[in-house]
């Protein structure tokens, strides 16, 4: 058989497989169902952007322990310190027992958060992926910050049976106004796990600060569900933020990647206790009774990651209360102008000006800080390493 005929045969076979597995007509029709505003408004003002530091390698999360001290996680297993705007040469912590921290996979040292009483107990929480037997798992550990190092590791969540796959680990850590620790876990590339209430993959967990289960969790009294679960039907959430005032828990989630459903379908959600967010039963803008569809959906994909609210008086009133979302594939910050839980307009900030963006957080000075992510396995690389950027109001 000629090379041309082989190519034609391969294309026909691929088309048949896609049509059979994805039910393409139904999926394309579902994308046309309008459930959320997705058009972007023109941007009349951009924030002022300055570089704080560079030289980072695949950063993921950051916390502010003091006005002049920032801790940043790098997926290779290091916690870095930025003090007075300078990246220190020696890591605060090195974790060597990591699974899939490089070579095209998505694991490693992921997020970091501080205990609400950090000022007195100095507790820092980290999430990282490790290998147990033949499985890769995401665990959560607590450390004590002694300024020169993170010491006294205590594993508060040892992870659950994962898979040998190297993708969809999540993960974002966040303490809520209720003092509970919220943890997002990806479904590990095995979509059926998201709907299994005895499986913690594809879920958001709600834990006490020592890893125990709060007695008011939504499934704590059910024999057919794990009591740590707060939400389910999630795919690979990498963003969490509590809205000032209302206390709503906003999240971002990565949509399908063609091997598990048609591409696109990235989501912004409002998480509620016990909520089922549909994956893989529904996705994109599909709806079904009993399942929660996204507040906003993005096709083509923007790969939303970390998110944070603007909650400082240094910003104009028109910016306060808006949600910023760091986007990887989209290479921008999406700014959502919110009114009572609804999106009134969306804007792209820093559009393709600084590459892939991993996380955004508000600093003690009221400025918004952004981590780039061009040195991870999916990025193009960056000669001087990834950056920490500082955003201040338009001049």
> Do the Cβ atoms of 125 and 108 come closer than 8 Å?
no
**Other Cβ atoms within 10 Å of 105 Cβ, number:** 17
Beta bridge partners of 386: 56
Which residue is catalytic, options 100, 115, 168, 254? Answer: 168
For residue 168, indicate whether it is catalytic: yes
Backbone φ, ψ for residue 178 (5° rounding): -85, 0
> How does strand 123-132 pair with strand 93-94?
unpaired
> Do the Cβ atoms of 395 and 317 come closer than 8 Å?
no
DSSP string computed for 272-315: -TT-B--TTTS-TT---TTSPPPSEEESS---EEEEEE---TTS
CA dist., res. 224 & res. 201, Å (int) = 15
Distances (CA, A) of 190 to 169, 211, 222, 279: 11, 25, 24, 11
Beta bridge partners of 356: none
Structure tokens at 348: 């792209």
**Of 365, 348, 358, residue with least CA distance to 386:** 358
Backbone φ, ψ for residue 14 (5° rounding): -65, -40
**Other Cβ atoms within 10 Å of 163 Cβ, number:** 17
- Catalytic residue IDs: 168
């Amino acid at each position: 058989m000629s090379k041309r005929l082989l190519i034609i045969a391969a294309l026909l076979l691929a088309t048949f497989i896609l049509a059979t597995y994805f039910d393409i007509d139904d999926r394309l029709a579902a994308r046309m169902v309008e459930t959320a505003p997705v058009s972007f408004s023109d941007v009349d003002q951009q924030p002022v952007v300055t570089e704080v530091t560079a030289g980072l390698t695949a950063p993921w999360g950051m916390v502010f322990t003091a006005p002049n001290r920032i801790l940043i996680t790098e997926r290779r297993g290091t916690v870095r310190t930025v003090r007075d705007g300078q990246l220190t040469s020696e890591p605060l912590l090195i974790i060597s027992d990591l699974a899939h921290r490089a070579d095209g996979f998505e694991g490693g040292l992921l997020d970091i958060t501080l205990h609400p009483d950090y000022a007195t107990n100095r507790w820092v929480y980290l999430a990282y992926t490790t290998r147990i037997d033949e499985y890769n798992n995401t665990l959560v550990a607590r450390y004590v910050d002694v300024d020169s190092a993170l010491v006294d590791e205590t594993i508060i969540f040892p992870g659950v049976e994962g898979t040998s796959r190297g993708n969809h680990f999540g993960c974002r850590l966040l303490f809520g106004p209720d003092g509970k620790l919220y943890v997002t876990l990806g479904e590990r590339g095995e979509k059926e796990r998201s709907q299994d209430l005895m499986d913690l993959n594809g879920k958001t967990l709600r834990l006490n600060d020592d890893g125990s289960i709060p007695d008011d969790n939504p499934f704590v009294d059910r024999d057919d569900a794990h009591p740590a679960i707060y939400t389910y039907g999630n795919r690979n959430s990498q963003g969490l933020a509590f809205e000032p005032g209302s206390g709503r828990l906003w999240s971002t989630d990565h949509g399908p990647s063609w091997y598990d459903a048609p591409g696109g379908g990235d989501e912004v959600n409002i998480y509620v206790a016990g909520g089922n967010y549909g994956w893989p039963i529904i996705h994109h803008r599909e709806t079904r009774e009993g399942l929660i569809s996204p507040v906003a959906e993005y096709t083509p994909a923007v790969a939303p990651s970390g998110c944070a609210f603007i909650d400082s008086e240094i910003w104009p009133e028109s910016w306060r209360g808006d949600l910023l979302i760091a986007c990887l594939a989209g290479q921008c910050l999406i700014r959502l102008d919110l009114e009572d839980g609804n999106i009134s307009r969306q804007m792209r900030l820093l559009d393709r000006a600084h590459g892939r963006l991993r996380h955004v957080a508000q600093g003690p000075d009221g400025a918004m800080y952004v981590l780039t992510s061009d040195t991870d396995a999916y990025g193009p690389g960056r000669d001087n390493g990834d950056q920490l950027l500082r955003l201040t109001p338009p001049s």
